Amino acid sequence: MAAEGGGKEMNEIKTQFTTREGVYKLLTHSEYSRPNRVPFNSQGSNPVKVSFVNVNDQSGNGDRICFNVGRELYFYIYKGVRKAADLSKPIDKRIYKGTQPTCHDFNPLTATAESVSLLVGFSAGQVQLIDPIKKETSKLFNEERLIDKSRVTCVRWVPGSESLFLVAHSSGSMYLYNVENTCGTTAPHYQLLKQGENYAVHTCKSKSARNPLLRWTVGEGALNEFAFSPDGKFLACASQDGFLRVFGFDAAELHGTMKSYFGGLLCVCWSPDGRYIVAGGEDDLVTVWSFSDCRVIARGHGHKSWVSVVAFDHCTTSVEDGEPPPEFSGSDEDFHEQIHFGTGRDRANSAQSRLSKRNSTDSRPVSVTYRFGSVGQDTQLCLWDLTEDILFPHLPLSRTRTHTNVMSATSPPPTGQNTTVSSTTSNPSGTNGKDTVSNSSSGGNPANSLPNTLPRSNSLPHSSNPAGGSTPNSHTGSSSSNSSSTTTTTTKGNSIMDSSFIATGVSKFATLSLHESRKERHEKDHKRNHSMGHINSKSSDKLNQLSSSRTAKADVAKTLGTTLCPRMEEVPLLEPLVCKKIAHERLTVLIFLEDCLVTACQEGFVCTWARPGKVGLLSSQNNPANSPSGTVV
């Protein structure tokens, strides 16, 4: 998005693209930016981010948009595809000194036409609660930076709560706050509440209620983004160490893990039904992970640089005939064999069998398509379709239609029994330590970028184990000695969100030991931008010693070829439906709305793309080819 007269490669910038639904068109009059429309000099600045909220006012124009550009924060009425943007009249504008806004989030539960609650995270670690309609600043959290001094990377209201919010920092820590509590005048003291493989949860020791309620220490290096599942019960975390970790939020249980092909993970999102998670990052790939199987089911290659945002399109995602995908087995035996609604042992999992049966003629009355998009530092927008042949490559006829609730995938087992949660782990049979990975998957087909000398893994993901070894996702009730899974048990009903449980559960969980198996796992973490400074509690000394004593030499080789990180040829490789260059600067925002999709780049231009047939009132004046607008995408 270049200013008038400054657009080199102007012919490369796309203003429309076509999918099977029709033509998506850029609405140049619906572009939001700083009032002067001057491109922002983005050198050294934090990414431009956009948040939306609907205040349900009577006019039918209840959408509000907030975006940050450099030190500035803007709040406008968002007119979308209906009317041109009026940049001369922001509802609220704030310019900060000494720190920059990095991320923000509206609380949809409390939003009205007279008041909204907006959380803003900052580069120096503070979090501000403001009301841009009333133009009030109600509270500042971590004001003295006693809780965490590092940059805020992600802030989100806890789903369904009017007062709880979660904040992630580049230190690798997350903190749970309550807007009603103060932060205290001294550094908080923590007590271990829950410890698992490469993560720990601490509660704040205090005689009176104070923030933070909890501190999560997740992985190594920055925690770049987290996302709550649609039902609010699970939390997916994308970290700089390259790991996706999915937790049961209330009980702080690790549900599953995935490792990037290369480098750190930068972004993560959930499918609308909570069945799949997509992550993107420094390997230039989008990776699709099955929540129920706890494994990678596909990768997408279309970007030429780091993927900065992934998002599902809830309007184009469809499950037809009213019946869910026949994904789950109904037998108790299979239920116990796989954690959280696994798909059973008799599903073959080698690359050969999966690909050979992709075109099987199983009679499935369900047609499933998930649409998601991604934007990256290569200035490109990619759209992807996740279809049945990828989701159910060879579903046996006997395993059909036993579950009828689409949302059942996102719920933990309903029984009252203790639930054992195993994290996905390294290859039990041992991957050849000499495995190497090509420097980058960018440029060309990554399936062909692996050297020919790569030995095959001894154990493909989920392959049968005649020796009795525990497969990474097996649910055997205890941690097998040759599986590096760390097993923690919690009783149904325990919730770390329950204040009484926080008080009574400390002694119970403080005795959880670090399993020997965690030592192996630490060797697998990709050590880019390590920062162990966030582990400063005595109760985390064991974690500190383990993680600081590891080397990076065997990291990639240990995970490549396992369910944590399958080889490129072991999972289907998606190609984008659309891959278009739509900006001059790196893209930092992708949001799907009902009648449009919204993108933004680091120059500070927020662009609206009308869905097919949704151009609305601007159609007569909005031919991008001869647009009189001062900025063109």
Q: What is the pLDDT of residues 483-497, one digit of tens each?
A: 334 444 444 445 655
Which pLDDT does position 461 carry in this prediction? 39
Which pLDDT does position 396 carry in this prediction? 52
Task: Report the distance separating Cα 417 and Cα 400, nearest Å.
Answer: 26
The reply to whether omega before 212 is within 30° of 0 (cis) is yes
Residues 28-59 have pLDDT tens digits of 999 999 998 888 877 778 999 999 999 987 77
Query: Once rounded to an integer, what is the mean pLDDT over residues 222-241?
Result: 98
| Amino acid in position 319 | V
Which pLDDT does position 392 carry in this prediction? 86
How far is it between the farthest Cα atoms of the chain?
71
Cβ neighbors of 229 (< 8 A, separation 6 or more) are 235, 236, 270, 274, 291, 410
Cβ neighbors of 103 (< 8 A, separation 6 or more) are 49, 68, 120, 121, 152, 153, 154, 155
Cβ neighbors of 34 (< 8 A, separation 6 or more) are 40, 69, 72, 74, 87, 604
Which pLDDT does position 349 carry in this prediction? 36
256 alpha carbon, distance to own chain's centre: 14
pLDDT of 336 > 60? The answer is no
Selected residue with higher pLDDT from 332 and 305: 305
| Amino acid in position 482 | N
Which pLDDT does position 495 carry in this prediction? 61
Which of 129-133, 184-188, 275-279, 622-626 comes out lowest in average pLDDT?
Answer: 622-626
Per-residue pLDDT band for 627 (boundaries 50, 70, 90) equals: very low
Task: Report the distance separating Cα 234 and Cα 252, nearest Å.
Answer: 9
- Only one residue has tokens 């029984």, namely 415
Task: Report the distance separating Cα 459 and Cα 443, nearest Å.
Answer: 29
Q: Determine if residue 441 is left, alpha or beta; phi over 0 gives left, psi from -120 to 50 gives alpha, anything else beta.
A: alpha
pLDDT of 332 > 80? The answer is no
Residue 144 has which token pair? 């003295």
Task: Report the distance separating Cα 33 and Cα 597, nearest Å.
Answer: 16
Residue 60 has which token pair? 């039918």
Which pLDDT does position 620 carry in this prediction? 42
Which pLDDT does position 337 carry in this prediction? 37
CA 29-30-33 angle, 5° bins: 100
Which pLDDT does position 41 carry in this prediction? 78
pLDDT of 160 > 50? The answer is yes
Percent of the chain with pLDDT over 70: 62
Selected residue with higher pLDDT from 46 and 3: 46
Task: Report the distance separating Cα 84 and Cα 82, nearest Å.
Answer: 7
60 alpha carbon, distance to own chain's centre: 31
Domains of the chain with CATH codes: 34-171+173-218 (2.130.10.10)
Residue 606: name the closest of 6, 55, 79 by CA.
Answer: 79
Which of 443-447, 561-565, 593-597 comes out lowest in average pLDDT?
Answer: 443-447
Query: Once rounded to an integer, what is the mean pLDDT over residues 233-254?
Result: 97
| Amino acid in position 145 | R
Coil, strand or helix at 356: helix
Which pLDDT does position 137 carry in this prediction? 77
Task: Report the distance separating Cα 106 and Cα 503, nearest Å.
Answer: 30
Burial of residue 60, with CB atoms counted within 10 A of its CB: 0-12 exposed, 13-18 middle, 19 or more buried? exposed
pLDDT of 432 > 60? The answer is no
Cβ neighbors of 608 (< 8 A, separation 6 or more) are 26, 27, 30, 31, 80, 81, 596, 597, 598
| Amino acid in position 440 | S
Mean pLDDT of the chain: 74
Backbone φ and ψ of 422, nearest 5°: -110, 135
Residues 184-220 have pLDDT tens digits of 899 999 999 999 999 999 999 988 899 999 999 999 9
Per-residue pLDDT band for 65 (boundaries 50, 70, 90) equals: very high
Per-residue pLDDT band for 24 (boundaries 50, 70, 90) equals: very high
Contact in structure between 275 and 410 (CB atoms under 8 Å):
yes
Coil, strand or helix at 560: strand
Task: Report the distance separating Cα 352 and Cα 396, nearest Å.
Answer: 16
